[in-house]
Amino acid sequence: MKSGQDTTDSSENPKLKLGLVLVKSELRAWNYSIIEKILSEGHGEISFVLFVNEDFKTTSRVATLRNVISDSIEKLDEFLFRRWCELDALSECRYEDLQLAIPEITATPMKCPDNTCFSDSIVDEVKKLNLDVLVNLSSATYTGNIYQAATHGIWSLDSGDESKLSLNQKIFWQFFLKKTETCNLLEKSESATEPRMIIDASWSAVQSISPTVNKHHVLWNLAALVPRQVRRLRINGSASFHHEARQHSTSLACRAESSFHKPNSVIAIFLYLLSLIATMKAVFRERYFWIQWQIGFSLGSGIETNLVRYQPLAVPDDESWADPWIIERDEKFYIFFERMKKSSSRGTLSVIEMDAAGQNSAPRSVMEKNYHLSYPSLIEANGTLYMLPETRENRTIELHECLEFPGRWVFKMNLMRDIEAVDTTLYFHLGKWWMFSVLVSGKGRDSCEDLHLFFCKDLLSDNWVSHPLNPIVSDVRVARSAGGVFEHDGKLIRPSQDCSKRYGFSINFNEIVELSETTYSEKSISRIMPELNSSILGTHTFNRSKGISVIDFYRSKRI
């Protein structure tokens, strides 16, 4: 199986008729990918394009000293760091390469009292097409009757706080606010008199290396939102779609109360010099220091949230031990974990044996492949013990069966293939198996942002059904799994990672409030943070068994 199947037969609902608002010269890789994704997924068809006249300028830029300096800083940073971007979001693309044989109109917007609008004749032409959605991929915001040109209004993309800057400029300069995460928004406008409604949002980590690298990362995150909501609208229907949109608008606090403005010239130069110094320090640390993960344990039936109270296991100076999973057998505890040499980038899986007093054996290797292994998730079903290690490098979700405990494991089957999945976690609940997995589901995305949920009655199946709300969590602060789902005090708890400040920074405990084939919700109830006065920099896996909890944490050490 390549990926999960939709819970609803989307062929019962007609494809959405979509219109685009474009400026040809503004078509870049990130918004070009939006069109490609919509066409490839098949939930919508591009029926019309409204081209904004190339000569039209939505804002006038006065050549003030502030603008000259800020533009120069943006160009300098783009020159220095664009090559550092994992995938270039701003490479130029040609609309003609899409080969869309559809109606086109080129129009020059008009200056209106509150913003920019189109003439009534243009709006009337668009209305005749009976569009479901008009997607604004230009850099301008429009008002007036164009809002009524499509059944579900105009969709537009934004990021962070309110501002009169262009999207690219806003993303660039918000880097200097020193936030650890950015809120990326898809908004719907249906009326000139009503505020825009948030219909989707994702939280992505600010890429601290440079404002340009961060800008490209944010743009790729924005590109994922439109195809996602096109799919949801078609599969789930209008009523469910608008109910979820209303929940987004009332529950998300994405915007600051005050508008964001670029700093003045002196402050802009100062902030940029500080960012260059921080980047040089980061490069130095990466070259001369390495991250060593260790495992700690805490005896007792409760959930210990104070990281310094965990007793560390002795780890060789040239190794990292991470991702601990624990199981009890014959009054002994067995901790399975990822083991990696300092000189290698490929992990293997090992196990140590521990008695009730906390005395442990030497590690024993249990699994090694010609690709990276980590996160040895353990599942028991019908008297058989299985392991679901992370095998992202092999583009699979693999199930392994234990033939001789604890050291002999054999490959059983692929639950999914041709997929980039990390920290996949299974849990049996209400007669079904539920699979939580972060998927790297788009260009330029990282592995900590989008949590997907699948379900199936049979564990030994490759026909897992994709939850209709996927991704059920799109937030770098809580998405990625940090251990097995467990019950505690009558609550169902899902541990997750907070990767906003850095990868593996802290652990959240999220109570699963709703879990069904059509609904999912959770809320954070507590967390484990690295102590400010310790050398521990982060933690990202928590698991427990009867009377013991295990965790991992890391420190930075000189090479």
pLDDT of residue 8: 45
Question: Is pLDDT of 492 > 90?
Answer: yes
- Give the per-residue SS3 of 346-384: CCEEEEEEECCCCCECCCEEEECCCCCCEEEEEEEECCE
Average pLDDT of the segment spanning 373-380: 97
Interval 87-108: pLDDT, tens: 899 999 998 898 888 988 888 8
Q: Decide if pLDDT at 451 tops 80.
A: yes
Q: Which domains does the chain have, with CATH numbers?
A: 13-262 (3.40.50.170), 284-558 (2.115.10.20)
Given a cut of 90, is residue 442 above it in pLDDT?
Answer: no
Model pLDDT, residue 255? 59
Give the whole-angstrom CA distance, residue 318 versus residue 204: 33
pLDDT bucket at 550, cuts 50 / 70 / 90: very high
Indicate the range of 17-21, 38-42, 301-305 predicted with least confidence.
301-305
Between CA 281 and CA 298 the distance in angstroms is 35
- Taking residues 317-332, report their average pLDDT: 94
Instruction: Report the C-alpha gap between 119 and 110 in whole angstroms.
Output: 7
The pLDDT confidence band at residue 538, using thresholds 50, 70 and 90, is very high
Q: Which pLDDT does position 62 carry in this prediction?
A: 54
Looking at every residue in the chain, the average pLDDT score rounds to 88
**Cβ neighbourhood burial of 430 (10 Å; 0-12, 13-18, 19+):** exposed
Q: How far is CA 167 from CA 38, 153, 445, in A?
A: 22, 20, 19
Work out the pLDDT band at 310, boundaries 50, 70, 90.
very high
For residues 456-460, give the mean pLDDT: 96
pLDDT, tens only, 47-95: 999 998 866 654 455 557 778 888 899 999 999 999 999 889 999 999 8
* pLDDT score at 251: 53
Structure tokens at 323: 């991702």
DSSP-derived pairing of the beta strands 348-354 and 364-367: antiparallel
Count of CB atoms within 10 A of residue 120's CB?
11
Task: Give residue-wise pLDDT tens across range 157-178.
Answer: 998 766 667 788 888 888 888 8
Residues 463-471 have a mean pLDDT of 94
By C-alpha distance, which of 82, 34, 122, 68 is closest to 269?
A: 68
| CA dihedral for 31, 35, 40, 43, sign (positive or negative) | positive
**Cβ atoms of residues 354 and 547 within 8 Å:** no
Torsion region of 183: left, alpha or beta (phi above 0 gives left; psi -120 to 50 gives alpha): beta
Residue with more model confidence, 385 or 100: 385
Mean pLDDT of 346-354: 96
- What are residue 114's DSSP bridge partners? none
- Choose among 98, 104, 103: nearest CA to 39: 98
Which CA distances in Å does 398 have to 248, 349, 389, 459?
35, 14, 7, 12
Query: What does the pLDDT average to over 3-27?
Result: 75
Mean pLDDT of 403-426: 96
DSSP string for residues in 268-335: HHHHHHHHHHHHHHHHHHHHHEEEEEEEEEEESSS----GGGSEEPP--TTEEEEEEEEEEETTEEEE
DSSP 32-85: HHHHHHHHHHTSEEEEEEEEEPTT--SS-----HHHHHHHHHHHHHHHHHGGGS
pLDDT by residue (tens digit) across 113-142?
Answer: 667 788 888 888 889 999 999 999 988 778
Q: What's the rounded Cα separation, in Å, for the pair 134 and 226?
A: 11
Amino acid identity at 422: V
Residue whose structure tokens are 């995460």: 181
For residues 21-25, give the mean pLDDT: 88
- Mean pLDDT over 478-497 rounds to 96
Instruction: State pLDDT tens for residues 500-515.
Output: 999 999 999 999 999 9
Rounded to an integer, what distance in angstroms lies between the CA atom of residue 174 and that of residue 214? 10
Total-model pTM: 0.91
pLDDT band per the 50, 70, 90 thresholds, residue 111: confident
Confidence of residue 238 (pLDDT cuts 50, 70, 90): confident
Check pLDDT > 70 for residue 4: no
CB 30 within 8 A of CB 220: yes
Per mean pLDDT, which range of 11-20, 286-295, 406-415 is the poorest?
A: 11-20
- The upper half-sphere exposure of residue 472, i.e. CA atoms within 13 Å in the direction of its Cβ, equals 27
5 — pLDDT class (breaks 50, 70, 90): low
pLDDT, position 56: 61
Rg (C-alpha) for the chain, rounded Å, is 25
Q: Which stretch of DSSP H or E encloses residue 437?
A: strand 432-439
**Is residue 252 scored above 60 in pLDDT?**
no
pLDDT of residue 367: 97
Beta strands across the sheet bearing 548-558: 311-312, 289-299, 548-558, 542-545
